[in-house]
Amino acid sequence: MSLPESHEFVRLVPLADLHRHFDGSIRPETLWELSEKYYSAVPGLDFEAFRRYLEWDETQDRTLLDYLDKFHVPLQYTQFYENIHRIAYEIAQDAYADGVRLLELRMNPLIHRRAGLTTRQVIHATRKGLSRFGEEHPDFRAGIVIIAMRSHGGNMARILLREVVGEKEEYHAGVGVIGFDIAGPEAAFPPLLFTDAYKLATQMGLRTTVHAGESEGPERVWEAIETLGPDRIGHGTSAGEDPELIKRLARDGTYVEVCLSSNLQTGAVASLADHPLPRFLDAGMNVALCTDNPTVSNTTLSREIGLAMQTFGFGEQDVRDLAAMSCRGTFLAGGCHFAR
């Protein structure tokens, strides 16, 4: 995952990652340690074989379903407060080591409640892990974006929002909840089902984003912006197929959270060269370059920037501009302190 020597300057640029999933960012070594703790290791597996259940394998993985399969194993270990706290701390530690100084970590608390934790306990453990790292590194800031799964429906989304209201950033000295998102199957669960949830999120003072245009066409992005009015769009890859949509996103200043490696792995684009990122930027759109799932995609934010440089010919100033633009898109109170 090391960058070419010519791209080492990226490590000197303060970075912001606005789209990083909790359960897709856990260290394989930590999961292996926990598997030994709970199961005396997994029968028939060594560590390298275990990693293949967590990371994209170019030799055998092909589809979005293959990508999503990588999230099953981590969920065995994220049902306990102390594990969630540790993992959140380590995610911050790994991000910081890669040059990230502003991190928005998103999670769906409901999938971490199978051993009896409440939604607030899941969020509290995550907050405390991120806050502990932030106390040790004052130049690091983090916030939590709550995800409601589309397949759980609009009512559950509203219930989830009411459960997390006490965990909002403004009520805590350290890390808190700053945003709301929906994720999951786009075709079967359109944005219309979540109109009331997004109204509630806005009333609560949360900023909003929507996973859209990753597995479906630009019509899903249109539906999201027309129906939900989000501040940002997660992925939004298929927007590149619709010039009018690109104009609309640029006009409104709606950020698109671009995740190059995962877009390639899930089939959102056929090749990196086909990715609409350059078209987005040429049209004046706001773009945040993000990791999505560093463990699953076997990537880092600096590597994603390196891929953009190699694929699209971005220079050093392009990277600095993109890093600053990403930072300006944050939902954190007070905004970005290092973007120029």
For residue 37, pLDDT over 90 is answered with: no
- Across the range 285-311, mean pLDDT stands at 96
Amino acid identity, position 316? E
pLDDT of residue 43: 66
Q: State yes or no: pLDDT of 199 exceeds 70.
A: yes
Q: Which of 39-53, 61-75, 119-133 has the lowest mean pLDDT?
A: 39-53
Instruction: Kindly report whether the global pTM for this prediction surpasses the value 0.85.
Output: yes
Q: List the beta bridge partners of residue 207.
A: 179
pLDDT tens per residue across span 157-181: 999 999 999 999 999 988 999 999 9
The mean pLDDT of the chain is 94
CATH topology of domain 9-328: TIM Barrel (3.20.20)
Answer yes or no: is pLDDT of 1 > 50.
no
What pLDDT, in 10s, does the model give residues 89-100?
Answer: 999 999 999 999
Question: From CA 328, how far away is CA 308, in angstroms rounded?
Answer: 19
Per the residue annotation, which of 167, 214, 257, 304 is the catalytic one?
214
Distance of CA 200 to the CA centre of its chain: 22
Identify the residue with better confidence: 22 or 61. 22
User: pLDDT tens digits, residue range 272-284?
Assistant: 999 999 999 999 9
The mean pLDDT value for 36-64 works out to 83
Domain ranges of the chain: 9-328
The first and second tokens of residue 102, run together, are: 């502003």
* pLDDT tens per residue, range 300-334: 999 999 999 999 999 999 999 999 999 999 999 99
pLDDT for residue 340 is more than 60: no
Residue 29 annotated in active site: no
